[in-house]
Every structure is written in C-alpha cells, then in structure tokens.
C-alpha cells in the first residue's frame, strides 16, 4: 500500500543527508539491485547462478529425503542452516530472526527436504534443505535456498527442483 508514493526516496535522501552530516565514509546497502543506483549505490557483493535444463537436472539422484511444505516452525532450522553455510564463505551476511520472519509470507510455495526417507513423518524429522522456486518467463527459478553442503542433499535438491519445473511446464 505504501509503494510508489515517494516514501523510499524520502527515506534514502534523509539517510544520505544524515550520513553526510555525521561524516560517514562508507555505507553499504542490501536490497533491490535496480533501485538504489538512483542514489549512487552499486552492486558490490558476489552474485552467482547455475542454469541447467530440466532433462539434465532430472538425472540428479533424488535421495531418500522426505519432501514437504515449508512451515513457520521450520524457520529456526532454516536459519541455522543458512548461518552454518554462510560462516564458511567470504562476504556473506548473517541475517537476524526478524529478517526471516519478514520473508516468511513470500515463501508460501517453499518446499523442504528432511532426513528419514519418503515415507517418514515430517514432524520432527531433521531439515536438510529448504528452497523457494517459482516460474518466471517459462523458467523455474530458485530464488532462495538453504541447504546442508553435502553432495547427497544437493543432488536431491536439484532433482526436486527439476520435478517442480517439469510439473509447472517450465524449462
């Protein structure tokens, strides 16, 4: 409801004036990459992507993980996975719980992988991966992912994303 009313611009202009008045030498900002350039910001972090065809991705080993919906109760485990993975990488950012709570509504279609096999009850089963994928311009795009950095989990994640893409009729 607040978009396109100039509030973001006012906030940015006020913030930049404040930082200038206070003598800040550097400011870093994380957000919408095609918005903040208006205020002199440029992308500076790492950005990566992997592209594969659905037929190729379907060759990935699906593993013996239970697949299910991402629930609010999964947030603490997802945050732990994210922090553990990011701790091993340079230039990554630990996000507070409030960040994940804020993002949760965007992940209505997010999925999970849990230990215990396909027939295991997902209640109490250990979360090993979670992702949010969606179809954009005929392509299945994974926008957010947290996972254990293990080959079997990664292979299963790729296989499940390929299956979701195929069901959606995406490439």
pLDDT in tens, 63-78: 889 999 988 888 888 8
Q: Quick check: helix, strand or coil at residue 35?
A: coil
The dihedrals phi and psi of 154, each to the nearest 5 degrees, come to -60, -40
The pair of structure tokens assigned to 29 is: 């900002």
**Rounded alpha-carbon distances, angstroms, from residue 100 to 54, 79, 94, 97:** 29, 8, 11, 5
User: What tokens does 24 get?
Assistant: 């800040």
Chain segment 21-67, per-residue pLDDT in tens: 999 888 887 766 677 888 887 766 666 678 889 999 999 988 889 99
How many Å apart are CA 12 and CA 20, to the nearest integer? 12
Largest CA distance in the chain: 61
Gap between the Cα atoms of 21 and 48, Å rounded: 36
Alpha helices in 43-171 (DSSP H): 54-57, 75-86, 97-103, 151-168
What is the C-alpha to C-alpha distance for residues 154 and 139, in angstroms, rounded to an integer?
20
Q: Report the chain's C-alpha Rg in angstroms.
A: 19
Task: Tell me the mean pLDDT in the region 106-134.
Answer: 78
DSSP letter for each residue of 107-120: GTT-EEEESS-TTS
Return all residues near 52 (Cβ < 8 A) that are at least 6 apart.
158, 162
pLDDT 10s digits, 137-162: 899 998 778 888 888 998 999 999 99
Instruction: Give the pLDDT score at 3.
Output: 78
Computed over every residue of the chain, the mean pLDDT equals 83
């Amino acid at each position: 409801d607040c978009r396109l009313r100039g509030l973001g611009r006012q906030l940015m202009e006020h913030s930049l004036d404040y930082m200038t008045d206070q003598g800040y030498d550097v400011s870093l900002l994380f957000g919408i990459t095609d918005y903040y350039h208006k205020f002199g910001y440029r992308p500076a972090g790492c950005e990566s992507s992997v592209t594969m065809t659905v037929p190729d991705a379907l060759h990935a080993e699906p593993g013996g993980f239970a697949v299910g919906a991402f629930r609010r109760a999964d947030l603490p485990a997802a945050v732990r996975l994210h922090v553990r993975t990011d701790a091993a990488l340079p230039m990554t950012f630990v996000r507070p719980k409030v960040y994940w709570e804020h993002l949760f509504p965007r992940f209505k279609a997010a999925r999970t992988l849990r230990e215990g096999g396909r027939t295991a009850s997902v209640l109490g089963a250990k979360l090993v991966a979670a992702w949010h994928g969606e179809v954009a311009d005929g392509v299945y795009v994974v926008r957010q992912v947290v996972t254990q950095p293990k080959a079997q989990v990664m292979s299963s994640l790729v296989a499940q994303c390929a299956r979701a893409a195929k069901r959606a009729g995406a490439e």
